[in-house]
Amino acid sequence: MSRALPAGPPGLSVARRVEVTDIRDALHAEWTKLRTVGGSAWLLAGTIAATVAVSAAATAAARCPSGTACPVDTTKLSLTGIEFGQAVVAILAVLVISGEYSTGMIRITLAAMPRRSAVLAAKAVLVAGLVLAAGAVAIGGSVLAGRVILPGHGFTAARGFPVLSLADGPTLRAAAGSVLYLALIALLSLGIATMVRDAAVATGVVLGLLYLSPVILSVVNDPVWSHRFERYAPMNAGLTIQDTIGLRSLPISPWGGLGVLAAWAAAALLAGGLVMRWRDA
């Protein structure tokens, strides 16, 4: 790979200077693209709206009539909307790269920034950062909705359901973990979209990967296979981060589950990076 030497900060070796400038320029370029493309802001707003709306609806539908035991994880219930929000995140992350392939923009991008890994890294950093921010709002809104709605539906402190609060350790872990979950879904989607390029196919692959495992789990009653799905499917494993009750009987620990999803995302990004490097754009 040959490249013109850009003017970098003085005092660094040429190679180092090139690297730093590359990443910085790449980030700047990607940020300009992301900022000026019409859909991004809408999709981020959509993530928040979808997550909060479905979470609020799920908590509003839950009732704990007096006199019955309600074996329900109120934290997890109030974060239900993430199952919808993640689909919007996936669209955003897929479009970040597929949009360039579908318009041919990618050739200009790569002509200006021949270090392909830097382009992908910049995209990953930006999309993850944006999703972290939007996710924090979405998850915060969901927890707030649960906090307001649940006590009115029988989930009171007197019956063993303390008001949802981020000061509570497990709830904080579930909420913060959910924000990270959304960012990891974005990275997973970005990696897959880099591999398959086409937006429709990438979206199908990502949503299939996420949504098929709970569907399959609902019918597979072989304990060995259920255990495998619960531990290694990205959505099932990743969402254990939301569990706050019955932690001993979980198939995988909350952080372990999120780690599995992180491994999926890393593998997808790595594969995407390699494919991008080896294939013609």
Partner 1 sequence: MTAGTVAPYQPDQQTGRDGFAPLLRAEWTKFRTVRGWVIGTVVAVLVMFGLGLFAAGASSSSCQSTSGGPVRTGQGCVTIPPVGPGGEAVSDSFYFVRQPLAGNGSITVRITSLTGLLPPANGNVPGGPNAPIDTRPGLVPWAKAGVIIKDGTAPGSAYAAMMVTSAHGVRMQDDYTGDTAGQPGAVSPASPRWLRLTRSGDTITGYDSADGTHWTLVGAVHLAGLPSTVQAGLFAASPAYQAITEGFGGGENGLVGPSQDTAVFDHLGRSGSWPAGAWTGEYAGAADGSGIGGYHQASGRFTVTGSGDIAPVVPGQAGDAGTTVTQHLIGTFAGLIVVIVVATMFITAEYRRGLIRVTLAASPRRGRMLAAKAIVIGAVSFVAGLAAAAAAVIFGAQLAHARGSYVYPVPWPTELRMVVGTAALIAVAAVLAVALGTMLRRSAAAVSLVIVAIVLPYILGAASILPVGAADWLLRITPAAAFAIQQATPQYSQLTAIYSPNSGYFPLAPWAGFAVLCGYAALALGLAVVLLRRRDA
Question: Contact at 8 Å (CB) between 90 and 189?
Answer: yes
Nearer to partner 1, 19 or 198 (CB): 198
Q: Mention every residue, 6+ apart, whose C-beta is less than 8 A from residue 50.
A: 81, 84, 85, 87, 88, 138
Comparing CB distances to partner 1, the nearer of 23 and 185 is 185
Stretch that binds partner 1, among 89-97, 109-117, 164-172, 271-279 (CB under 8 A): 89-97
Q: How far is the CB of 43 from partner 1 (least distance, A)?
A: 9
Only one of the segments 17-25, 141-149, 179-187, 207-215 lies at the binding site for partner 1 (rule: CB under 8 A); that segment is 207-215
Nearer to partner 1, 211 or 232 (CB): 211
Member of 40, 47, 75, 80 binding partner 1 (CB under 8 A): 80
* Residue of the chain from 12, 41, 108, 212 that contacts partner 1 (CB under 8 A): 212
CB of 87 to partner 1, least distance (A): 5
CB of 223 to partner 1, least distance (A): 8
Among residues 134, 140, 170, 167, which one has the least CA distance to residue 41? Answer: 134
- Judged by CB under 8 A, the residue of 30, 83, 100, 230 near partner 1 is 83
71 binds partner 1 (CB under 8 A): yes
Q: Which is nearer to partner 1, 68 or 165 (CB)?
A: 68
Please give the residues from 43 up to 62 whose contact with partner 1 meets the rule CB under 8 A: 57-58, 61-62
Q: Confirm or reject binding of residue 247 to partner 1 (CB under 8 A).
A: no
Rounded to a whole number of angstroms, the minimum distance from the CB of residue 180 to partner 1 is 21
What's the one-letter identity of residue 113? M
- Which DSSP string do the residues of the chain spell out, in sequence order? ---PPP---TTS-HHHHHHHHHHHHHHHHHHHHHHHSTHHHHHHHHHHHHHHHHHHHHHHH----TTS-----HHHHHTTTHHHHHHHHHHHHHHHHHHHHHHTHHHHHHHH---HHHHHHHHHHHHHHHHHHHHHHHHHHHHHHHHHHGGGGT--GGGT-PPP-TTSHHHHHHHHHHHHHHHHHHHHHHHHHHHH--HHHHHHHHHHHHHHHHHHHTT---HHHHHHHHHHSHHHHHGGGG--S-GGG-SS-HHHHHHHHHHHHHHHHHHHHHHHHHS--
On whether the CB atoms of residues 186 and 127 are closer than 8 A, the answer is yes
Q: Which one of the spans 8-16, 133-141, 219-227, 249-257 is the region binding partner 1 (CB under 8 A)?
A: 219-227
Among 52, 77, 121, 260, indicate the residue that binds partner 1 (CB under 8 A).
77
166 binds partner 1 (CB under 8 A): no
Give yes or no for residue 131 binding partner 1 (CB under 8 A): no
Question: Any contact of residue 269 with partner 1 (CB under 8 A)?
Answer: no
Q: What six digits make up the tokens of 208?
A: 């299939």
Contacts with partner 1, residue ranges (CB under 8 A): 39, 57-58, 61-63, 68, 70-72, 76-77, 80, 83-84, 87-88, 90-91, 94-95, 98, 102, 198-204, 207-208, 211-212, 214-222, 225
